[in-house]
């Protein structure tokens, strides 16, 4: 590590040079110190300057690779930064998700933002503070330890002071983080762990520019893509002459079976697409599966069988063996705002793409491969969109925009997917089938346990491969979908949370991974965890009922982890489990999991009412308890848990992608209904805060427990055991009659 | 000359009578409040007030509302001076992504104008045609009730 002359020149003050060398020495010492591991994404982007800059006008610029998806992450990292740097929160300005400016933090997903980005920001801000104090010490001629800081103003004991902005230390930030800078003790923090109103909300309630939809560059044109009638359809013929002649239509782009239109006005682009749709002739291969046969399809496929846990209890002498099969259908992300992107090809041959993608770096690289250009020729910039809950149409819309933009150099093209595009073409959460088997002793206690799951991929994110982009399949020279691989430990994918947290005497878990697709599928909030937890926690309930033991007590027999026990107990107490008086037609249920076996602990209890005549389920109330380690933004965590409960109730009660001849039949909100305001029950969320412990990702913690708690509550309410999501009135009625 | 009256200002919309109101508000008038969600009158994201009534601008032709008073989210209050309802959404942190929020606030505004002290059930019923995928419904209901209380 050296500090070069130009950098030295910029540092003001006589002592700067010496300080710079101090810093080098610090860094060297840190490098020598064994086991000094940098936290989170600081390990992969260790330079302080990659994350922070002091700006003129008294601002701190924080640069992060994670992006805002409506989960409030940017506010949370700003809280950490302001605390460690000793500045007011209002001074922190954030740049996020610009591939030219920010550290590559991969994908914003998997509940990784706080563990990976939050921990990095906290540490790097503490490092920056040390650097700034070192420079201030030289400038003021006092020892570093004698200085105090308030809102960026550094004071010496004799009253002399300077500010971060006078020091101008950006060159001094060109060093590797040491990992040695001390973090603020809890009682010295002003923001972390306290309620701080989210920074984006005032914009969003007043219609002030903040969404990608609000970005309207000069000369912007409106693009639309003619999606084929089915996934594997091929364009046979299309006469575009009449549409091309329409006033206001700027260009028709055709490349193989990919057809797009660029127009001066949005309504013209829509009209042009309607006309092209009527004119296009397609070769549509027959498709077979329906929503009812999709699970049979799963079982018919050739599978990769992966034994992820192989500790069966060979000595078990069971008195009885029970088994059950649980299913989930294909579910949509179903964002309220269909996917959008704006791209422009500049004079240097660089395509600049504004996108609400979760993976700007990898999506940019995939687009570059699709366009046949160098990676550096695609520049992605994240802007906020509608909540996505995983890999939805965002990246595909970005690819559409980039393709169309090649036809109008210098003029930005905006892609706006229609509702139909989004519903039919986004990659869904995979349907799954799970078979659980328990060997029991004569008292109903578990002596052996097995879990087999069948699933297609939960991970076809762009991942720097053009073949993962929708448009790339239809080009004259198409890109093939790469053969998907299942994500392995410790996070897993289809088999996420398939290993039960319970200390059974024996446990065997097998993933039957299918590399083909009955429908396009990819990461949807929680991946396989939703279905695996639903199965495990339903089965635990079934076994408890069989043993005539309270379901919480039954779980506690096998639950050794103290934090897990505490969260289960907390949800039970919040709900009033012990003193619950069952009203006719009503029942209660509980579900619990530690997300991924390594992230947040979450337990959900609820009361439901089942109408035996109609089969309709009404959720009366929900209590959710969550332990996300040290909590930075308490209201943000609660919001995630609460939103996850609602989304999971919606999945579990109402949602399933419907298929028919020709493919997907769920094309809008009528054919794919979701939970409405009057169906959302009161939800009480409480947190157990664990100061000083690592941040645990929480955005996907409540879905699995909610699905199971619902099924378990329905069982107590009416005696019907629902194992096939969603629990529609028809299915509840059928189960009651069975 | 047909004119569109939006948030107290008049705009010439000659030749745009057949365009969806939403596109003209967003693309021509550069208003950010009303959002495109479905274009099918199914989600409510595009809601604006026309003479005080909630209207889905995605399926409303410009020609049908010329010379009527149109109010968008921007017409309620501003970043510097949010109105009571907008303020209540901030106080309750009533959203995740906030994409649906325009429609929810506009629908709630119409409700409160007509029924200043609704019950929780009345609020839920009024908002039942507004979809929120993030699951922020309870926070939004609380925000509407708070605005009613503080009015
Ligand atoms: S966009 Fe108008 S109702 Fe959905
Ligand atoms: S807050 Fe995201 S859709 Fe409602």
> Could you say which DSSP state residue A521 is in?
B
Whole-number Cα distances in Å, A403 to A352, A372, A386, A665, A706? 12, 11, 23, 28, 41
> Could you say which DSSP state residue A172 is in?
G
Q: How far apart are CA A432 and CA A327, in angstroms?
A: 6
Among A373, A342, A346, A371, smallest CA distance to A357 is for: A342
Instruction: Report yes or no: B99 at the A interface, CB cutoff 8 Å.
Output: yes
Q: Give residue A69's pLDDT.
A: 86
CB atoms within 10 A of CB A675: 24
Is the pLDDT reported for residue A16 higher than 80?
no
In short, whether B136's Cβ falls inside 6 Å of ligand 2 is yes
Is the pLDDT reported for residue A26 higher than 70?
no
Whole-number Cα distances in Å, A561 to A689, A696, B19? 16, 16, 61
Establish whether this prediction's ipTM goes over 0.95: yes
Q: Give residue A291's pLDDT.
A: 64
Q: Give residue B130's pLDDT.
A: 98
Same-domain pairing of B57 and B93: no
Is the pLDDT reported for residue A75 higher than 60?
yes
CA of B133 to the centre of ligand 2 (A): 5
- What is the strand order of the sheet A59-64 is part of? A52-55, A59-64, A92-96
The alpha-carbon radius of gyration of chain A (Å, integer) is 28
A667 to chain B, minimum CA–CA distance in Å? 11
Angle of helix A394-405 relative to helix A360-371, nearest 10 degrees?
40
Phi (first) and psi of residue A609, to 5 degrees: -125, 135
Q: Give residue A6's pLDDT.
A: 33
Q: Of B36, B51, B75, at which residue does a domain stop?
A: B75
Q: Give residue A29's pLDDT.
A: 39
The domain in which residue B129 lies consists of 84-150
Reading chain B (151 residues) residue by residue, the pLDDT tens digits are 779 999 999 999 999 999 999 999 999 999 999 999 999 999 999 999 999 999 999 999 999 999 899 999 999 999 999 999 999 999 999 999 999 999 999 999 999 999 999 999 999 999 999 999 999 999 999 999 999 998 7
- Residues of B within 8 A of A207 (CB-CB) are 31-33, 72-74, 102
The alpha-carbon radius of gyration of chain B (Å, integer) is 15
Same-domain pairing of B66 and B90: no
Q: What is the dihedral of CA A311, A316, A319, A325, to 10 degrees?
A: 10
Q: Of B45, B75, B105, at which residue does a domain stop?
A: B75
Q: How far apart are CA B34 and CA B46, in angstroms?
A: 4
> Could you say which DSSP state residue A459 is in?
-
In short, whether B44's Cβ falls inside 6 Å of ligand 1 is yes
DSSP secondary structure letters along B113-131: HH-SS--HHHHHHHTTTS-
Give the number of the atom of ligand 2 that is nearest the alpha carbon of residue B104. Answer: 4
Give the number of the atom of ligand 1 that is nearest the alpha carbon of residue B56. Answer: 2
Name which of A72, A337, A647 is nearest B36 (Cβ-Cβ): A337
Q: How far apart are CA A457 and CA A51, in angstroms?
A: 34
Contact A522/A457 with Cβ under 8 angstroms? yes
Tokens 């303020």 locate to B87
Which residues have C-beta within 8 Å of that of residue A536, sequence separation ≥ 6?
Answer: A436, A451, A497, A498, A500, A593, A708
Same-domain pairing of B23 and B53: yes
Pairwise pLDDT comparison (A169 vs A326), residue with the higher score:
A326
Same-domain pairing of B49 and B98: no
> What H or E segment, with its residue span, contains residue A430?
none
Q: Give residue B118's pLDDT.
A: 98
Same-domain pairing of B88 and B70: no
**pLDDT tens digits along A114-163:** 889 999 999 999 999 999 999 999 999 999 999 999 999 999 999 999 99
CB pairs under 8 A between A and B: 175
Q: Give residue A42's pLDDT.
A: 95
Same-domain pairing of B63 and B106: no
Contact A476/A256 with Cβ under 8 angstroms? yes
Token pair of A90 as six digits: 């209002």
Q: Which of A646, A651, A677, A678 to mutate to test the interface with B (most CBs of B within 10 A)?
A: A677
Contact A708/A537 with Cβ under 8 angstroms? yes
A393 to chain B, minimum CA–CA distance in Å? 14
Count of domains observed in chain B = 2
Q: Give residue A389's pLDDT.
A: 95
**CB-based contact B133 A674, cutoff 8 Å:** yes
For residue B113, give the CATH number of its domain.
1.10.150.120
Average pLDDT over residues A442-450: 97
Token pair of A292 as six digits: 């009812």
Whole-number Cα distances in Å, A235 to A281, A661, A663, B30? 6, 19, 17, 37
**First-to-last CA distance in chain A?**
73
* β-strand pairing of A586-594 with A601-610: antiparallel
Whether omega for the bond prior to residue A285 falls within 30 degrees of 0, making it cis, is no
Least confident of A66-70, A186-190, A630-634: A66-70
- Residues of A within 8 A of B130 (CB-CB) are 677
Pairwise pLDDT comparison (A738 vs A439), residue with the higher score:
A439
Name which of A209, A387, A642 is nearest B97 (Cβ-Cβ): A387
* β-strand pairing of A221-226 with A258-263: antiparallel
Same-domain pairing of B126 and B70: no
B112 to chain A, minimum CA–CA distance in Å? 17
Q: Of B33, B50, B75, at which residue does a domain stop?
A: B75
Instruction: Report yes or no: B128 at the A interface, CB cutoff 8 Å.
Output: yes
Is the pLDDT reported for residue A12 higher than 80?
no
Q: How far apart are CA A530 and CA A508, in angstroms?
A: 19
> Could you say which DSSP state residue A631 is in?
-
CB atoms within 10 A of CB A107: 23
Tokens 């012990």 locate to A578
Residues in B 21-80 with any Cβ partner in A closer than 8 A: 23, 26-27, 30-33, 35-40, 42-43, 45, 72-74, 76-79
B133 to chain A, minimum CA–CA distance in Å? 6
> What H or E segment, with its residue span, contains residue A540?
helix A529-547
HEC assignment per residue over B57-88? HHHCEHHHCCCCEEECHHHCCCCCCCCHHHHH
Token pair of A110 as six digits: 């998997």
DSSP secondary structure letters along A64-86: ESS--SSS-HHHHHHHHHHHHHT
Q: How far apart are CA A708 and CA A206, in angstroms?
A: 39
In short, whether B95's Cβ falls inside 6 Å of ligand 2 is yes
On the CB side of B3, CA atoms within 13 Å amount to: 10
Q: How far apart are CA A451 and CA A5, in angstroms?
A: 63
Q: Which domains does chain A have, with CATH numbers?
A: 7-189 (3.30.365.10), 216-285+336-422 (3.30.365.10), 429-458+493-737 (3.30.365.10)
Contact A689/A696 with Cβ under 8 angstroms? no
**CB-based contact B39 A668, cutoff 8 Å:** no
In short, whether B38's Cβ falls inside 6 Å of ligand 1 is yes
Ligand nearest to the CA of B93: 2
Phi (first) and psi of residue A448, to 5 degrees: -155, 155
Contact A169/A132 with Cβ under 8 angstroms? yes
Average pLDDT over residues A19-34: 38
For residue B31, give the CATH number of its domain.
3.10.20.30
Q: Give residue A603's pLDDT.
A: 98
HEC assignment per residue over A604-618? EEEEEEECCCCCCEE
**CB-based contact A386 B95, cutoff 8 Å:** no
Which residue's CA is minimally distant from atom 4 of ligand 2?
B132
Token pair of A212 as six digits: 């990608």
Same-domain pairing of B63 and B117: no
Q: What does the angle CA A630 – CA A633 – CA A634 come to, to the nearest 5 degrees?
A: 80
Same-domain pairing of B58 and B104: no
Name which of B79, B133, B135 is nearest A642 (Cβ-Cβ): B135
Q: How far is CA A434 from the centre of its chain?
A: 24
* β-strand pairing of B9-12 with B3-6: antiparallel
CA of B45 to the centre of ligand 1 (A): 5
Ligand nearest to the CA of A388: 2
In short, whether B107's Cβ falls inside 6 Å of ligand 1 is no
Token pair of A717 as six digits: 């309410």
- Residues of A within 8 A of B26 (CB-CB) are 213
In short, whether B151's Cβ falls inside 6 Å of ligand 2 is no
Whole-number Cα distances in Å, A682 to A121, A676, A687, A721, B141? 35, 13, 17, 24, 11
Average pLDDT over residues A40-62: 93
Is the pLDDT reported for residue A1 higher than 50?
no
pLDDT band at A426 (very low <50, low <70, confident <90, very high): very high
Q: How far apart are CA A709 and CA A720, in angstroms?
A: 14
Alpha helices by DSSP H, listed for A616-702, are 634-654
Same-domain pairing of B128 and B111: yes
Q: What is the dihedral of CA A491, A497, A499, A502, to 10 degrees?
A: 120
- Residues of A within 8 A of B124 (CB-CB) are 677-678, 680
HEC assignment per residue over A181-198? CCCCCHHHCCCCCCCCCC
Is the pLDDT reported for residue A34 higher than 70?
no
Which residues have C-beta within 8 Å of that of residue B116, sequence separation ≥ 6?
Answer: B148, B151
Tokens 């250009």 locate to A373
Average pLDDT over residues A692-716: 96
Name the burial class of residue A44, with classes exposed (0-12), middle (13-18) and buried (19+) by CB atoms within 10 angstroms of its CB.
middle
Full-model pTM: 0.93
Contact A325/A435 with Cβ under 8 angstroms? yes
pLDDT band at A663 (very low <50, low <70, confident <90, very high): confident
pLDDT band at A112 (very low <50, low <70, confident <90, very high): confident
Which residues have C-beta within 8 Å of that of residue A605, sequence separation ≥ 6?
Answer: A571, A572, A574, A575, A577, A588, A589, A590, A622, A623, A624, A709
Tokens 């009135």 locate to A729
Q: How far apart are CA A392 and CA A461, in angstroms?
A: 9
**Is residue A239 classed as helix, strand or coil in its secondary structure?**
coil
Same-domain pairing of B103 and B61: no
Contact A158/A141 with Cβ under 8 angstroms? no
In short, whether A70's Cβ falls inside 6 Å of ligand 2 is yes
Q: How far is CA A214 from the centre of its chain?
A: 23
In short, whether B93's Cβ falls inside 6 Å of ligand 2 is no
Average pLDDT, chain A: 92
Is the pLDDT reported for residue A639 higher than 90?
yes
Same-domain pairing of B124 and B61: no
* β-strand pairing of A432-440 with B53-56: unpaired
Q: Give residue A288's pLDDT.
A: 65
Token pair of A487 as six digits: 């994500």
**Is residue A274 classed as helix, strand or coil in its secondary structure?**
helix
């Amino acid at each position: 590590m050296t500090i070069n002359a130009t950098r030295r020149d910029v540092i003001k003050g006589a002592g700067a040079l010496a300080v710079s060398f101090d810093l080098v020495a610090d860094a060297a010492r840190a490098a020598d110190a064994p086991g000094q591991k940098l936290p989170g994404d600081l390990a992969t982007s260790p330079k302080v300057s990659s994350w922070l800059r002091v700006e003129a006008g008294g601002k701190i610029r924080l640069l992060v690779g994670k992006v805002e998806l409506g989960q409030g992450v940017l506010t949370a990292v700003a809280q950490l930064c302001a605390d460690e740097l000793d500045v007011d929160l209002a001074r922190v300005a954030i740049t996020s998700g610009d591939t030219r400016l920010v550290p590559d933090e991969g994908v914003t997903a998997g509940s990784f933002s706080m563990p990976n980005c939050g921990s990095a920001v906290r540490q790097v801000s503490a490092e920056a503070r040390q650097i700034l104090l070192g420079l201030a010490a030289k400038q003021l001629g006092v020892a570093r330890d004698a200085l105090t800081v308030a809102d960026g103003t550094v004071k010496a004991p004799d009253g002399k002071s300077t500010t971060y902005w006078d020091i101008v230390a950006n060159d001094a930030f060109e060093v590797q983080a040491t990992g040695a800078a001390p973090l603020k003790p809890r009682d010295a923090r002003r923001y972390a762990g306290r309620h701080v109103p989210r920074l984006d909300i005032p914009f969003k309630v007043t219609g002030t520019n903040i969404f990608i939809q609000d970005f309207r560059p000069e000369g912007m044109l409106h693009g639309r893509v003619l999606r084929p009638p089915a996934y594997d359809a091929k364009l046979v013929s299309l006469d575009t002459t009449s549409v091309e002649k329409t006033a206001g239509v700027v260009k028709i782009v055709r490349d193989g079976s990919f057809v797009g239109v660029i127009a001066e006005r949005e309504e013209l682009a829509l009209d042009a697409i309607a006309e092209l749709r009527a004119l296009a002739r397609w070769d549509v291969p027959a498709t077979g599966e329906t929503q009812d046969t999709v699970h049979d399809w799963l079982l018919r496929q050739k599978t990769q069988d992966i034994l992820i846990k192989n500790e069966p209890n060979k000595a078990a002498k069971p008195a009885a063996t029970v088994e059950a099969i649980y299913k989930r259908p294909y579910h949509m992300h179903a964002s309220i705002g269909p996917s959008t992107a704006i791209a422009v090809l500049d004079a240097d041959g660089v395509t600049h793409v504004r996108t609400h993608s979760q993976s700007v770096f990898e999506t940019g690289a995939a687009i570059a491969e699709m366009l046949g250009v160098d990676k550096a020729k695609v520049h992605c910039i994240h802007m906020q969109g509608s909540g996505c809950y995983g890999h939805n149409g965002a990246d595909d819309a970005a690819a559409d925009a980039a393709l169309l933009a090649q036809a109008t150099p210098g003029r930005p093209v905006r892609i706006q997917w229609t509702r139909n595009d989004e519903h039919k073409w986004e990659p869904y959460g995979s349907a799954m089938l799970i078979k659980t088997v328990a060997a029991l002793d004569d008292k109903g206690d578990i002596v052996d346990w097995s879990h087999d799951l069948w699933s297609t991929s939960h991970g076809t994110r762009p991942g720097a491969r053009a073949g993962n982009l929708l448009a790339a399949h239809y080009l004259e020279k198409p890109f093939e979908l790469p053969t998907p691989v299942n994500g392995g430990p410790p996070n897993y994918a289809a088999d996420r949370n398939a290993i039960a947290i319970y200390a059974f005497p024996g446990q065997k878990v097998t993933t039957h991974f299918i590399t083909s697709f009955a429908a396009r599928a990819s990461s949807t909030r929680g991946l396989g965890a939703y279905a695996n937890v639903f199965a495990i926690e339903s089965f635990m309930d079934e076994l408890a009922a069989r043993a005539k033991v309270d379901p919480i007590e039954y779980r506690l027999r096998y639950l050794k982890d103290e934090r897990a026990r505490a969260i289960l107990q907390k949800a039970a107490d919040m709900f009033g489990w012990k003193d619950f008086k069952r009203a006719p037609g009503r029942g209660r249920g509980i579900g619990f999991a530690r997300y991924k076996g390594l992230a947040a602990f979450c337990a959900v209890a609820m009361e439901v009412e089942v109408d035996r005549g109609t089969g309709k389920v009404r959720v009366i109330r929900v209590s959710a308890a969550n332990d996300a380690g040290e909590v930075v933004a308490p209201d943000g965590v609660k919001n995630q848990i609460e939103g996850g409960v609602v989304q999971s109730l919606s999945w579990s009660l109402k949602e399933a992608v419907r298929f028919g001849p020709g493919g997907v039949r769920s094309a809008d909100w009528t054919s794919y209904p979701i939970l409405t305001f009057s169906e959302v029950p009161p939800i009480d969320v409480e947190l157990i805060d664990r100061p000083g412990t690592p941040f645990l990702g929480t955005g996907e913690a409540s879905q699995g427990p909610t699905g199971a708690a619902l099924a378990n509550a329905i069982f107590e309410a009416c005696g019907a055991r629902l194992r096939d999501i969603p629990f529609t009135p028809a299915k509840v009625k059928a189960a009651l009659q069975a | 000359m047909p004119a569109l009256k939006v948030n107290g200002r008049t705009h010439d919309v000659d030749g745009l009578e057949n365009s969806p109101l939403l596109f003209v508000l967003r693309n021509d008038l550069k208003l950010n409040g009303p959002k495109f969600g479905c274009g099918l009158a199914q989600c409510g994201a595009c809601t604006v007030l026309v003479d005080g009534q909630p209207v889905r601008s995605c399926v409303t032709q410009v020609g049908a509302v010329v010379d009527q008073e149109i109010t968008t989210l921007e017409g309620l209050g501003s970043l510097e001076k949010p109105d009571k309802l907008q303020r209540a959404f901030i106080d309750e942190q009533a959203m995740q992504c906030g994409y649906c929020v325009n429609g929810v606030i506009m629908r709630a505004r119409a409700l409160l104008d007509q029924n200043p002290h609704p019950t929780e059930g009345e609020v839920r019923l009024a908002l039942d045609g507004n979809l929120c995928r993030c699951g922020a419904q309870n926070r939004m209901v609380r925000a509407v009730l708070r605005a009613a209380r503080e009015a």
